[in-house]
Chain A
């Protein structure tokens, strides 16, 4: 059996995602971590394209690789002082956390191996016109969660402005 294009794409993307995610976690400099995070997000956008989710891939690049990473960089610039060299170190809980993460992976791997037969081996064909189909679902059957998400974004916007806004604690106690 020859290596299919799909398998080659999957293993390349998986390697990119896992390696860059490990570099995000193990990096000691938080700015480097955020740069590797962009690579991880772009790899995940590639996985979405493999899975016929074109709209989600575009959203992933715009929201995660664009907006979220820029926002986190701003957060770092507003809070970090002094050198960035040792800005993102490990605490003393590595001994507990590493087996826990390994356990999660082992349990997921075991369950995936057990349920291998009941999962379809090849995917169906997702309709090519993803944007208009998603829009139709969102404004008909899922209109209540859609509006709830809109309200959530508004509340988060107001809350973030209120929390991050300058607090005046001068002599009059205002």
Chain B
């Protein structure tokens, strides 16, 4: 367990990182902090994909390609999410997610 490194180690590392990110995304008040924690979760998934690329299909690059697409989508997501947060801040002067309740009726 301690001496060798197998795919299970990387899966557990990414599960721990995903759990930390999920916890942060649920409990943080600041909208930008929630965005940061979502980035942590996406990175945990990337570790999984690259680990399975090495341990299951080492000859092809399918896992690494998936990871590249995830990085692309994550970068686009950060850009749009920050733009939305800035647009909301301009109206409400707040980034506290508990204040964002005007879609309720």
Query: Which positions in A face B, CB cutoff 8 Å?
Result: 1-4, 6-7, 10-11, 14, 17-18, 21-22, 24-25, 30, 33-34, 37, 40-41, 44, 47-48, 50-53, 55-56, 59-60, 63-64, 67-68, 71-72, 74-76, 78-81, 87-91, 93-94, 96-98, 100-102, 104-105, 108-109, 112-113, 115-116, 119-127, 130, 133-134, 137-138, 142, 145, 149, 152-153, 155-157, 159-164, 167
**Nearest B residue to A95, CB-CB:** B27
* A156 and B22 alpha carbons, distance in the complex (Å): 24
Partner of A25 from B24, B64, B82 at Cβ < 8 Å:
B24
- As a 0/1 sequence over residues 58 to 74 of chain B, the CB contacts with chain A under 8 angstroms (1 = contact) are 11111011011101111
* A137 and B63 alpha carbons, distance in the complex (Å): 12
- List, in ascending order, chain B residues with CB within 8 A of A87's CB: 30
Is the CB–CB distance between A101 and B20 below 8 Å? yes
- List, in ascending order, chain A residues with CB within 8 A of B36's CB: 24, 33-34, 37, 72
Minimum Cβ distance to chain A for residue B17 (Å): 6
Is the CB–CB distance between A90 and B27 below 8 Å? yes
**Nearest A residue to B6, CB-CB:** A121
* A68 and B76 alpha carbons, distance in the complex (Å): 10
* A93 and B59 alpha carbons, distance in the complex (Å): 45
Is the CB–CB distance between B69 and A149 below 8 Å? yes
Give chain A's interface secondary structure class: helix
Is the CB–CB distance between A124 and B64 below 8 Å? no
Is the CB–CB distance between B26 and A97 below 8 Å? yes
- List, in ascending order, chain B residues with CB within 8 A of A24's CB: 20, 24, 36-37, 40
- List, in ascending order, chain B residues with CB within 8 A of A121's CB: 4, 6
- List, in ascending order, chain B residues with CB within 8 A of A101's CB: 19-20, 22-23, 26
- List, in ascending order, chain A residues with CB within 8 A of B78's CB: 68, 71-72
Minimum Cβ distance to chain A for residue B39 (Å): 7
Partner of B71 from A64, A74, A124 at Cβ < 8 Å:
A64
